[in-house]
């Protein structure tokens, strides 16, 4: 099975890498078009476009000015799975995966990206910030969704055929999964949800749910999960499959308050 994650806004380009193995992003020419467009964006415009602070906007202006279409590791680049931090990637904890796990993940995990479209874990990236929901006008496209069009789905379909899989496990946020066109996808979509008990009810709590998506990615990678039914065994950090709340397309995993 293939599964999908969102990227993260926070990045780590300083920690020592556990491996020098890498791959090149499959949609790098499109990334170059986007980066060239972003090089035209001034600091004040970028601040407004991304709704970020002046300091962050200046940082990202500098990042795009220095961005190059890297296809190998350098002082300015690193593998995507080690570059992203944040709640999802705390759950995934890629630095503690062994080389066998990382090789398995390379064929099973896709990371959706506003700049790169879709990435494999070992694809080389440079520091950037470009959320998929950004309403950036480029040529005839008035948003990144329009720019990427069917490209991400086409790449994903190629991976689906290569892996001969029937399912895509969607662990990405709504913002990023909207870049995929489900009607064109050559696989069934399964979208797990993670809910925590709060005042006697199960609710999606953003902080916990994000980390849980990363935890499930880790669970799938380490246990080499290939069957949908095996997802129900997910039990990291107190989550359990909830049969009563679940459906085939949306398995629900719940956690009690005393385990949070």
CB contact set of 27 (below 8 Å; sequence gap of 6+)? 116, 117, 118, 151, 152, 155
Could you say which DSSP state residue 249 is in? S
Question: What is the predicted pLDDT for the residue at 257?
Answer: 83
Instruction: Determine if the pTM surpasses 0.75.
Output: yes
Cα separation, 187 vs 8, in Å, equals 26
Mean pLDDT by 10 residues, the chain (260 residues): 96 94 95 95 94 95 92 90 96 96 97 98 97 91 95 97 96 97 97 94 95 98 96 96 96 88
* Torsion on CA atoms 18, 23, 24, 25, rounded to nearest 10: -80
Question: What is the predicted pLDDT for the residue at 159?
Answer: 96
Question: What is the predicted pLDDT for the residue at 71?
Answer: 80
Instruction: Report the half-sphere exposure of 106 (CA within 13 A, side-chain side).
Output: 16
Question: What is the predicted pLDDT for the residue at 162?
Answer: 95
Question: What is the predicted pLDDT for the residue at 81?
Answer: 98
The candidate with the shortest Cα–Cα distance to 105, out of 189, 149, 171, 28, is 171
Start-to-end CA distance of the chain, whole Å, equals 29
Cα separation, 77 vs 82, in Å, equals 10
Q: Are strands 252-255 and 240-241 parallel, antiparallel or unpaired?
A: antiparallel
For the chain, the maximum distance between any two Cα atoms, rounded to a whole number of angstroms, is: 53
Question: What is the predicted pLDDT for the residue at 258?
Answer: 73
Cα separation, 131 vs 16, in Å, equals 26
């Amino acid at each position: 099975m293939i599964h999908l994650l969102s990227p993260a806004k926070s990045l780590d380009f300083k920690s020592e890498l556990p491996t020098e193995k890498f791959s090149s992003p499959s949609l790098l020419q499109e990334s170059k078009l986007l980066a060239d467009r972003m090089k035209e964006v001034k600091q004040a415009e970028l601040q407004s476009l991304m709704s970020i602070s002046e300091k962050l906007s200046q940082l990202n202006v500098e990042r795009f000015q220095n961005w190059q279409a890297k296809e190998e590791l350098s002082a300015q680049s690193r593998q995507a799975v080690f570059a992203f931090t944040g709640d999802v990637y705390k759950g995934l904890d890629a630095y503690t995966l062994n080389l066998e796990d990382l090789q398995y993940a390379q064929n099973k995990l896709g990371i959706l990206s506003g700049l790169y479209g879709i990435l494999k874990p070992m694809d080389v990236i440079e520091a950037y910030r470009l959320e998929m929901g950004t309403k950036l006008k480029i040529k005839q496209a008035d948003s990144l969704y329009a720019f990427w069009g069917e490209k991400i789905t086409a790449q994903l379909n190629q991976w689906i055929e290569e892996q001969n899989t029937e399912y895509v496990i969607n662990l990405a946020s709504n913002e990023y999964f909207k870049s995929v066109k489900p009607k064109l996808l050559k696989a069934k979509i399964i979208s797990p949800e993670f809910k925590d008990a709060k005042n006697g009810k199960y609710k999606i709590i953003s902080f916990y749910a994000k980390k849980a998506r990363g935890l499930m990615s880790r669970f799938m990678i380490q246990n080499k999960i290939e069957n949908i039914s095996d997802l129900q065994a997910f039990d990291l950090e107190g989550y359990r499959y909830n049969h009563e709340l679940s459906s085939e397309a949306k398995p629900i995993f719940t956690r009690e308050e005393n385990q949070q």
